[in-house]
Amino acid sequence: MKMNLEQLRSFVEVARLGHFTQAAEQLHLAQPSLSRQIASLEQDLGAELFHRARGGSTLTTAGESLLPLARRMLADAESVRRELAELAGLERGRVRLGATPTLCISLVAEVLSAFHAEHPAIELHLSEHGSRRLLDELESGELDLALITTSDAGSAERFRVTPLLEEELVVISSAAAPAVTRGASIRLREVARLPQIVFSSSYDLRSATDAAFAAAGLEPEVVLEGAEMDAVLRFVERGLGVAIVPAMVLIDRPGLRSVRLEGPVLTRSISLARPRDVAPTSAVEVMQQTIADTAAAFASRAGASMRSVRGA
């Protein structure tokens, strides 16, 4: 016999509902496909399983004999699947992930969506802080993984750090307003003369941009200071000013336009850190892979302003 679990699942659903059309809808199959599965199963068994009529379908004697066996086989198959999943650590457990605010509204949102879709039973915890605070939480055992953006990721004795992305900082403005420059890039000196919205002093980005302006002997024109990432993006969308942000946050935001910086080009590195002396669970390992895959996909979508360094 060549019967398979899909055939048995279709058979049990038709038997439960007494109707091929309704069963096909429940199984998200086209009715012809469902009918072919049942016909193939009947051919393999050498017996008709249903009395087919215009008003519905009822079980034959052979069908009545098969139904309890089919239900038991499907239950056994589900039990095996669950046991194997639990052995892999993907039906139970938790993952505690830390990330900076800029990553939480971009990369992390897609990471968690993809991971939860595949492993809905895993409990997820998210900590949103600056990189230095995240590393402290990682060291104290409060986190399993941390997505960090600072260059000082701690000593090699404390953490295992995997570079993921090298990303440019770009100048953003409202898509509804005139472009801040006619060229493909803009110099930091020109940016300093534009009204700017700047981040809270707790942001690593704020330190990086302040240092760049100071090194160039420039003092930017600030119209709003101390905002969080989401607020900065909303204020820029409404034309309050410009901001210097990671290229990643522009993905899927049609209300913003961006231009690349030159002289100097500002970049940030995004890395994934985990404790060096703690073996990751299976769920944490899968989360690491999900993060790496999503980061690579982000780099391909962002184009020249973002480069994947996966595996570096």
Q: What is the CATH number of the domain that holds 127?
A: 3.40.190.10
Q: Given this model, what pLDDT does residue 157 score?
A: 66
CATH number of the domain that residue 13 is part of: 1.10.10.10
pLDDT number for residue 287: 95
> Is residue 303 situated within a structural domain?
no
Residue 296 pLDDT: 87
Strand 267-275 with 56-59, pairing: unpaired
DSSP 264: S
Note whether 204 and 284 are same-domain residues: no
Cα gap 190→283, rounded to integer Å: 48
Please state, as a whole number, how many other Cβ atoms lie within 10 Å of the Cβ of residue 111.
24
Does 309 map to a domain?
no
Q: Are residues 47 and 180 in the same domain?
A: no
DSSP calls for 147-195: EE--S----TTTEEEEEEEEEEEEEEEETTSPPS-SSSEEEHHHHHTS-
Verify that 16 and 42 share a domain, yes or no.
yes
pLDDT averaged per 10 residues, the chain (length 312): 84 94 92 93 93 92 94 87 72 88 87 93 91 88 89 61 90 95 92 94 84 94 90 94 90 89 87 88 91 87 70 42
Say if residue 172 is in the same domain as residue 159.
no
Cα-flanking dihedrals φ and ψ of residue 48, to 5°?
Answer: -75, 140
Q: Is 79 part of any domain?
A: yes
Count of domains forming the chain: 3
Residue 132 within any structural domain of the chain = yes
Same domain, 60 and 33: yes
Question: Are 263 and 274 members of one domain?
Answer: no
pTM: 0.65
Is residue 62 located within the same domain as residue 72? yes
Same domain, 71 and 30: yes
- Domain coverage including residue 226: 166-267
For residue 304, being part of any structural domain is answered with no
Rounded distance, CA 114 to CA 155, Å?
31
312 domain residue, yes or no: no
Provide the pLDDT for residue 234: 93
Structure tokens at 151: 């260059």
In a domain, 305, yes or no: no
E-strand stretches of 50-113: 50-53, 56-59, 94-99
185-188 contacts: CB < 8 A, separation 24 or more?
Answer: 185/259, 185/260, 185/261, 185/262, 186/259, 186/260, 186/261, 186/262, 187/261, 187/262, 187/263, 188/212, 188/213, 188/216, 188/218, 188/261, 188/263, 188/264
The CATH number that applies at residue 185 is 3.40.190.290
Backbone dihedral region for residue 18 (phi beyond 0: left; psi -120 to 50: alpha; all else: beta): left
CA–CA gap between residue 79 and residue 67 (Å, rounded): 18
- 157-194 confidence digits (pLDDT tens): 678 999 999 888 999 999 999 999 998 899 999 999 99
Q: 58 and 105 in contact (C-beta within 8 Å)?
A: no
Last residue within a domain, chosen from 40, 61, 87? 87
Spatial neighbors of 145 by CB under 8 A, at least 6 apart, are 95, 96, 97, 98, 138, 272, 273, 274, 284, 287, 288, 291
CA 33/CA 233 separation, integer angstroms: 49
Verify that 69 and 128 share a domain, yes or no.
no
29 part of a folded domain: yes
The crossing angle, in degrees rounded to 10, of helices 61-87 and 5-17 is 120
Report pLDDT for 150: 65
Domain end call among 58, 87, 116:
87
Q: Which pLDDT belongs to residue 301?
A: 72
Of 87, 118, 149, which residue constitutes the final position of a domain?
87
Query: Does residue 249 share a domain with residue 209?
Result: yes
Q: Is the peptide bond before 264 cis (omega within 30 degrees of 0)?
A: yes
Distances (CA, A) of 206 to 186, 202, 217, 290: 19, 7, 16, 29
